Amino acid sequence: MKQLLLSLLFVCTVCTSLCAQSSTLMNTKTKKVTDNMIFLTYHIYKIPEAILQIEYKNAILAKGRIKGFHETKTLNKADNLACDLLDKDMNVIETLYIENPLEKSIEFINDSGILEKRLIPLDSSEFTFRMPYNHKVIYAKIGVISNSNTSYFSITKL
């Protein structure tokens, strides 16, 4: 019975977070405003040969400043994502490292009353992140970090 309740709670949590993401980011085009923060939405999925595909969904410009954005870059490790904002000459203006969206970390209390953490592998996921925006930004480039380098999948004109 406890497992059924935990499973139901997990499904409700996932559905709620997916609905919240899709309802807050309805626009499919970039809104042009004179501000300094950009929200980028992508869809990532695996095709049968375990090859990753990343698709650009939308970008939204908004007023605001991200506190502590440059403090840590600890996510620069294998299997995570890297997103670069580029200028018209394809020079990197800003880079953000993103945790692998195909691995969801779930915390729960097991039957013994002990808090456990599990990684759940997903086949696909839609994710949104924010970065500081500069008026020189023209393109966004996103890719997966491997042990030796970063394999870029998508370069999108914003």
Residue 157 to residues 33, 122, 135, 137, Cα–Cα distance (Å): 16, 28, 13, 9
Q: What is the pTM of this model?
A: 0.68
Question: Among residues 103, 102, 84, which one has the least CA distance to residue 94?
Answer: 84
pLDDT tens-place string over residues 108-121: 999 999 999 999 99
Amino acid letter, 141:
K
Q: Which residue is listed with tokens 């999948």?
A: 153
The residue ranges of every structural domain in the chain are 2-157
Q: Which residue is listed with tokens 């400043």?
A: 65
Residue 107 has phi, psi (to 5 degrees) of -110, 140
pLDDT tens-place string over residues 41-73: 999 998 887 778 899 999 998 888 887 666 556
Question: Among residues 142, 140, 155, which one has the least CA distance to residue 60?
Answer: 140
DSSP code, position 71: S
CATH of domain 2-157: 2.60.40
